[in-house]
């Protein structure tokens, strides 16, 4: 069994940063009623805490995608396995991610959602790992930038384990 090597962000640090992000987003969307498109499953924990720090009305919705191929890095073929329930045409949409690594999932999502003609489309991710990027993607709001670590906790999994950790940790493999 893999072990936790070190804690990268404590629960308190995560909550503090989410509070700041919530404040910035609430300010940016003052006159608006954004749709938060949470990417299942990892981003659920982040999305829940982010909504608790928003002072504007919002709609929370979920979308699930699947990557194919022996490895996402080599193929990066993605498809939607559960679509948003809401029609985003003419709406302000914020994609909520837990982590952007290669950028392949986000690039696909941006392409698909843009085609539905929302009035705006932005990206909010808790973690950004630019060292693993394959495709350039725009990130409007980010919690933390991290080095090329394999991280788990606070929604992030390794073989579906560790999602429920209150903190974000580096996995020793
Ligand atoms: C993770 C994460 C992002 C994606 C980022 O999801 O939640 O959606 O990978 O990686 P990328 O930038 O290399 O595309 P994962 O496929 O592990 O699914 P999960 O959220 O259900 O755990």
CATH code for the domain of 36: 3.40.50.2020
- Whether 169 is in a domain gets the answer no
- Establish if 172 belongs to a structural domain: no
What are 158's two structure tokens? 């390794």
What are the pocket residues of ligand 1 if the criterion is a CB atom closer than 6 Å to any ligand atom? 39-43, 67, 72, 97-106, 157
Ligand 1 atom with least separation from CA of 129: 12
Residue 45 lies in a domain: yes
Q: Residue 159 falls within a domain, yes or no? A: no
Average pLDDT taken over every residue of the chain: 94
**In this model, does residue 4 exceed pLDDT 60?**
yes
Could you report the per-residue pLDDT of 95-120, keeping only the tens digit for each? Answer: 999 999 999 999 999 999 999 999 99
User: How many structural domains is the chain composed of?
Assistant: 1
Is 107 part of any domain?
yes
166 located within any domain: no
In angstroms, rounded to a whole number, what is the distance separating the alpha carbons of residues 132 and 130? 5
Q: Is residue 163 part of a domain?
A: no
Nearest atom, ligand 1, residue 101 CA: 12
141 close to 21: Cβ distance less than 8 angstroms: yes
pTM beyond 0.85: yes
Render pLDDT for 16-57 as a digit per residue (tens, 0 to 9).
999 999 999 999 999 999 999 999 999 999 999 999 999 999
* Within-domain flag for 93: yes
Bridge partners of residue 59, in order along the sequence: 35
* Domain assignment of residue 45, given as a range: 12-148
Structure tokens of 47?
A: 């999305």
């Amino acid at each position: 069994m893999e072990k936790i090597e070190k804690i990268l962000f404590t629960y308190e640090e995560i909550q503090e940063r989410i509070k700041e992000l919530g404040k910035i987003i609430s300010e940016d969307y003052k006159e608006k009623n954004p749709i938060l498109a949470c990417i299942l499953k990892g981003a659920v924990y982040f999305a829940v805490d982010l909504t608790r720090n928003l002072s504007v009305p919002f709609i929370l919705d979920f979308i699930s995608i699947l990557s194919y191929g022996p490895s996402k890095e080599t193929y990066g073929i993605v498809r939607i396995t559960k679509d948003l329930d809401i029609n985003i045409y003419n709406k302000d949409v914020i994609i909520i991610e837990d982590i952007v690594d290669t950028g392949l999932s986000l690039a696909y999502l941006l392409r698909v959602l843009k085609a539905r003609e929302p009035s705006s489309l932005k990206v909010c991710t808790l973690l950004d790992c630019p060292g693993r990027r394959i495709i350039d993607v725009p990130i409007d709001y980010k919690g933390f930038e991290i080095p090329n670590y394999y991280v788990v906790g606070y929604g992030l999994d390794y073989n579906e384990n560790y999602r429920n950790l209150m903190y974000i940790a580096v996995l020793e493999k």
